[in-house]
Structure 1
Amino acid sequence: MDGRERGAGVVVVGQIGRDLVLRTDGLPEAGGSADVAERWEGLGGKGANQAVGLAQSGVPVRLVGVVGEDRASALVWKVAYWMYSAFRPVRREGVPGVVGQTGV
């Protein structure tokens, strides 16, 4: 068996979070500040990062984790749900009516 048979795979239990990346044109002086040239928000967290890496390597993977109810969590939910089938949860706690698809 090489891990690609039906039902074979990895379940990652871990953190699902948001990465916030701010790009500047340079480092600020001590005690100073720098203007932000670009802002990017995306999927992050140790568990999510491991699951994405496995999925991108062709390993069947599912992620078990918690996503909150705030605006940042809604973004993470949408990115994870639509981009990675590994993140198709059964339900999102605390958000009425949000039920994701399950898959194998």
Structure 2
Amino acid sequence: MLTIEIQKENGYDILLLSGEVDASNSVILDEAITNLVNDGSKAILVDAAGLEYISSAGLGVFMSYLEDFQEKNIGLKIYSLSERVFEVFKILGLDQLMHIYPDKESALLS
């Protein structure tokens, strides 16, 4: 099960992810990001502290926005990934394509 909470803080839209992102619910993540983009967000933080698992479908959601974010000058930063989930990003080389930080403070300072 996936739950997403959206908060606004200091000009950032923060997505708080909890649970698991897989093929059956990755559309929920996609819709949340699409809504932020359509609402004019320029800076999105993803708080992944509660993210227990992410499948290739979930990673695909993030990957599908990389080019759009670059073209629209939208910043995306992911932080507080568990070691297990971070390894999935790392194995696929996504740690080289996305801005991933150990915690919220590091993400805000960069």
TM-score by length of 1: 0.43
Going by fraction, where is strand more abundant, 1 or 2? 2
Bigger radius of gyration among the two: 1
User: If each structure's helix is expressed as a fraction of its own residues, which one has the higher value?
Assistant: 2
